[in-house]
Amino acid sequence: MQVKRKIILTLTLISYFALMQTIKKIVNIFFLLCIISFIAKQAFSQDKRFVIVKVGFGLPYGAFGGNLEYRWENIGGYVGAGIMKSQNYRDINLDINLAKTFNTCVGLKYYFLRPIDGLRPVLGIHAGWLNNYYTNKIGSTNYSYNVYGLAAIAGFNFSENIVSLEINILIDPGFAIIKPKTHPYYSDKGYFTPSVGVGVNLYALRLYLKNNKRRKERNEIDTVFVQLNNNITENKKPNPLSQKIAIECNDTLGFKAIKTLFKDSQGKIVAGKQIAENAYIFVRFQKTGAIIGESLQVNYIDSSNKQIEVFVIKTNIKGENIESISGKIKTNNFNNLQYYYTIQGKVTTFYYGNNKNNISIRLNDLKLFDKNKEHNSQLYYDEILICLLSEN
């Protein structure tokens, strides 16, 4: 009976441990799928996407190689691979040759400040290849010279536009390594290794090429419109471009085209329009009377000649509308409002040349950042029209 009980108990324990292992595998797979789903979801979020390909030398690049980094807000993760060339040591009458190795690594980094600040301190942790080493204490003893383990990352990242430069120091304490018994004398000291890499933000590059193509197409169209405008003005005929803009003025988002034109506390002209249920766009002309006297003006926001300021206000406060927000802009009161300022885009102003000083405004390829937030928060607009406004 006792033998039978022992057999039953043994079988029960084996079944229990097998069940626990199965549950553990299921939990791990579920956790991995959740991580993959989260990363995939964030990777297609326009205002938080940073996918950067880098080449360089140092631990994050497997010696001489490259890595791919995905960043969400201030947190970035990378995978890297590279080659360490063969090394030769002549010591204690021995000719030691360390063969060329292919190395891999992963890492996690935190970026301080915001992308638009340009210079960003970086801290992180590196896991993977650390070193190919030899010391004369080893002599002719068999050992493993290709070291993998953990290291800390500290450095700076320069620029967050299309191209960026990152310079880091990786701090390897010497003891945080895999299979330390196969790496004699490695943990006797710490190692400080520099790394330098140049990266290309694939998302920013794609957006730039897309906007550049649109800009060229619209410039060609604008050139034709200017010629038509000049020719027809000489003949005292209606401006076809004005008619075209007036026709295209219908809101595509389904909101009423509520718009306004007013002067702020400094006497600068501001044009505004509701573009969503809780979003309003405003165009401030830096020179008083800038919209009068010319039939057509084209300004690029990212040019050195800052003639026009474009910003978007968002609010979730009930009762707010374009009139109340315009009143706050007049007094420069932006409390409890989300303020997005434009760093890129094109503004085309059409002046109808009548006694009402009617104008229409077309905004293209706008890129805006949230002024008050510390993380990546961006807005993009391909085209917005504000039509038939009259200066008071």
**Domain residue limits, the chain:** 45-203, 238-390
One-letter identity of residue 114 = R
Query: What digits encode the pLDDT tens for the residues 368-380?
Result: 888 776 555 788 8
Token code pair at residue 177: 């390594």
Minimum mean pLDDT range among 33-37, 150-154, 221-225, 288-292: 221-225
Token code pair at residue 65: 């190689």
Whole-number pLDDT of residue 332? 84
45 band by pLDDT with thresholds 50, 70 and 90: very low
Per the CB < 8 A criterion, the answer to whether 165 and 142 are in contact is no
Query: What digits encode the pLDDT tens for the residues 270-281?
Result: 889 888 888 999
Q: Kindly give the interhelix angle for 240-247 and 202-234, rounded to the nearest 10 degrees.
A: 130
Query: What digits encode the pLDDT tens for the residues 143-167?
Result: 999 999 999 999 999 876 788 899 9
66 band by pLDDT with thresholds 50, 70 and 90: very high
The Cα–Cα gap between 208 and 216 comes to 12
Of 341 and 40, the structure prediction assigns the larger pLDDT to 341
- Tell me what the mean pLDDT of segment 305-320 comes to: 84
What backbone torsions phi and psi does residue 219 show, to the nearest 5 degrees? -65, -40
Q: Whole-model pTM above 0.75?
A: no
Pairing of strands 308-314, 279-285: antiparallel
Q: Which CATH number fits domain 45-203: 3.40.190, 2.40.160, 3.40.50, 1.20.1630?
A: 2.40.160
Per the CB < 8 A criterion, the answer to whether 56 and 207 are in contact is no
Per the CB < 8 A criterion, the answer to whether 97 and 76 are in contact is no
The Cα–Cα gap between 157 and 159 comes to 7
Query: What digits encode the pLDDT tens for the residues 67-124?
Result: 999 988 789 999 999 999 998 887 666 777 888 999 999 999 999 887 766 788 999 9
CA dihedral 49, 206, 306, 291 (to 10 degrees): -110
Long-range contacts of 140-149 (CB under 8 A, 24+ apart): 140/94, 141/184, 143/182, 143/183, 143/184, 144/179, 144/182, 144/183, 145/98, 145/183, 146/101, 146/103, 147/177, 147/178, 147/183, 147/186, 148/177, 148/178, 149/176, 149/177, 149/178
Residue in 189, 144, 211 with CA at minimum distance from that of residue 364:
211
43 band by pLDDT with thresholds 50, 70 and 90: very low
The Cα–Cα gap between 250 and 256 comes to 9
Of 15 and 57, the structure prediction assigns the larger pLDDT to 57
* Summary mean pLDDT of the chain: 78
Residue in 222, 151, 163 with CA at minimum distance from that of residue 193:
151
